[in-house]
Amino acid sequence: MDQLRRRTLPHAGGSFRFGCWDRVRWWLVSPGRMEFWLWIVCFLLLVATTGAILVMALWNVGWLSITP
C-alpha cells in the first residue's frame, strides 16, 4: 500500500516541490496581492497614456517645440 501511495501521490512523502511559476501563482492568489498589482499596472498605464496625449496635444497647438 505504501508503494502505491508513493506512485500516485508524489507529494505525500514531502519530496514534491513547486516550480517557480507555481510559487508566483500561489503568491498572487493570496488576498490583496493580485488587486494591488492590477491597481499599480493600470495606474502606470493611465499616467503614461495621459502624458503621451498631453505631449501630443501641446505639440499640435505649437506650445511644445522640439527644434531650437
Per-domain boundaries in the chain: 35-68
Look up cell 498605464; give the residue: 45
Rounded to whole angstroms, how far apart are CA atoms 65 and 57?
12
Residues found in the chain: 68
Q: What is the DSSP letter of 30?
A: S
Please compute the mean of the pLDDT values over residues 42-47 and round it to a whole number. Answer: 98
Considering the entire predicted model, what is its pTM?
0.55
The answer to whether the beta carbons of residues 37 and 28 sit under 8 Å apart is: yes
Query: Can you read off the three cell numbers belonging to residue 39?
Result: 491597481
For residues 57 and 15, which has the higher predicted lDDT (pLDDT)?
Answer: 57
Mean pLDDT estimate for the chain: 80
The answer to whether the beta carbons of residues 57 and 51 sit under 8 Å apart is: no
* pLDDT at residue 30 greater than cutoff 80: yes
